[in-house]
Structure 1
Amino acid sequence: MTRELDTARELAIEAGRLISASLGRAAMVDRKSAVDLVTEVDRQAEALIKDGLASAFPQTPIVAEETAGNERPSGPYWCVDPLDGTTNFVHGLPHCAVSIALVGDDGPVVAVVHDPCKQETFAATRNGPATLNESPITVSGAESLDEALLVTGFPYNRRRHLDFYLTYFRLFLGRARDVRRLGSAALDLCYVAAGRFDGFWEWGLHPWDTAAGWLIAERAGGLVTDFSGARHDPWEPQVLATNGRIHQAALEILAEATAAAGNPP
């Protein structure tokens, strides 16, 4: 997988140059909703990545955020988020990422998440270590929620279902050391991998949000599942990623929150 990893890394860094050059200054081209934004840089970065992948691997389908359909491709496919954290980017907040994964029948096999603002490149392959700027990383050693720093996000339908999502937030905030909300699921997963966060949960995600970060977190020693503890499926809308040590405690809080919040929107 060396060629695939090298290609993904090179394209992520090249797309990152577009992003960092336009931070806070890109023209808006679409508003899917008041909180779901698309800029010209999203589309330029996606086109750059798709063209590069199609040239290098013409037989491999590409699922990308701005042009994706709703069907899972058969066989291996590339999964691309050209700019994860668009709202941060629009407001000039330097926290966003390019996410590229090659996904096989049993999950991702190559993953790159590049933060152009901090010049941090997270990467992993199915049989290799998780790395940050090519140095190995591992998850934290936190043993309990009391000592855990968690991170979460809220989906684009949050205004209509605020009480539902805040039920989860309140329960975790009352049990963990603290909770953050940074605005990039790809980086949230990588920060779990690097031991900066001890756990991450979120509703309403898509394959391009989690495919790369999932592999990076797992190869760093983390555990990534759905809210019931089953292995993560990036085509399902929920994810829990932890250092493994606090996973069961987090699952118990998720079960409590699900019982209290009722059926998901």
Structure 2
Amino acid sequence: MSTAMPFDAGTTLLSDATAAVKAAGDTLRARYTPYARGVSLDEVVAEIHANDHAVLAVLREPLLRARPGSRWAEDELAGGALPPGEWWVVDPAEGNINHVHGTQDWAVTATLVRDNQPVLTVVHLPLTGDTYTAVAGGGARLDDRPLKVSAKTDLGAALTGTGQARPGEDERTFRQIGDSVTAMLVNGLVVRVSVPATMQLIHVAAGRMDAFWQFSDVRSGLVAGALLVSEAGGTVTDLAGEPWTTASRDFLAAAPGIHTSALEVLSPIA
């Protein structure tokens, strides 16, 4: 991710966005059950859409009001560059598939993107109450504690991860995922393969994991983690080693000490 000028969030934008995301998290938590909901594909999809609609009903207007002139990126599964200006890129239920299956890896995320660079983000985990925030040039935090990425320099000692960005990816992408997991299992220590991306990227930002990559341009799963990792001292690029933006086709966020080694393993597969 390129190093942009520090973002002036003013005195209230981060607090307003945090309050909105936490309120949305209360809605999503109220819908949670510790058992799977839906048996057929149609039933599972209906549960996912119901979660999205319920959360957006309490999240959209407060965020737009908090940043006058900002716009809303409607499709949470969309990728690619946005038009110039400021956009809210939101996932009302990041890890929605986990939520409807009764597992616990899910969150509410909201990221303000300016000219295709994330500049402010809030990630709230309703089940634990943890809230991760970052502002460009202002660092990354878990609640009141600053975040710092791993100090590892040996890929052979690294805990890394990847995952599927969305249902219905093409076969080439699935093969890239499989090949990359094999390559990283050979060169790294342990590989996690799970969804959603944000739940792995908060671990990279906090130094609990050492790298995360994805063959995807889905904005909503990457913008929050990209800002958190970069503001925690990590390196965020595409798999060619170029600075990552929302226009990039793929993604790597890593501790600086293993980023080059991870690129050497993954770039031939991209």
Q: TM-score higher than 0.5 here?
A: yes
Q: Deviations over 1:54-107 (max 9, x none)?
A: 233342101144596976132122111111101111111011111111111261
1:143 — aligned with what? 153
Could you tell me how far apart the structure 1 residues matched to 2:210 and 2:226 are? 14
Closer, same or farther in 2 for the Cα pair 1:61/1:106, shift >3 Å?
Answer: closer
> Would you say the 8 A contact 1:190–1:216 is kept in 2?
yes
- Count residues in correspondence: 257
What is the 5 A alignment of 1:120-135?
120-135=130-145
2:6 — aligned with what? none
Could you tell me how far apart the structure 1 residues matched to 2:176 and 2:78 are? 27
> Would you say the 8 A contact 1:139–1:193 is kept in 2?
yes
* 1:228 equivalent among 229, 240, 253: 240
Could you tell me how far apart the structure 2 residues matched to 1:163 and 1:69 are? 20
Q: Deviations over 1:171-210 (max 9, x none)?
A: 0111111011231111221110001110000112411111
Q: What amino acid sits opposite 1:16 in the alignment? A: G
Q: What amino acid sits opposite 1:20 in the alignment? A: R
Q: Deviations over 1:116-142 (max 9, x none)?
A: 122211101112121001210100111
2:29 — aligned with what? 20
2:224 — aligned with what? 212
2:199 — aligned with what? 187
1:3 aligns with 2:12: yes
What stretches of structure 2 of length at least 5 have no aligned partner? Answer: 1-8
> Would you say the 8 A contact 1:109–1:215 is kept in 2?
yes
Q: Normalising to structure 2: TM-score of the pair?
A: 0.86
Q: What amino acid sits opposite 1:130 in the alignment? A: A
Q: Percent identity?
A: 32
What is the 5 A alignment of 1:1-265?
1=9, 2-24=11-33, 38-66=48-76, 72-105=82-115, 107-155=117-165, 156-158=167-169, 160-161=171-172, 162-258=174-270
Give the C-alpha shift of residue 237 in structure 1: 3.5
Q: Normalising to structure 1: TM-score of the pair?
A: 0.87
Q: Deviations over 1:203-243 (max 9, x none)?
A: 12411111121111111000111000111112333110001
| Larger relative contact order, structure 1 or 2 (CA cutoff 8 Å, min sep 6) | 2
Closer, same or farther in 2 for the Cα pair 1:236/1:36, shift >3 Å?
Answer: farther
User: Could you say what the CA RMSD is over the residues aligned between the two structures, in angstroms?
Assistant: 2.7
What stretches of structure 1 of length at least 5 have no aligned partner? Answer: 259-265
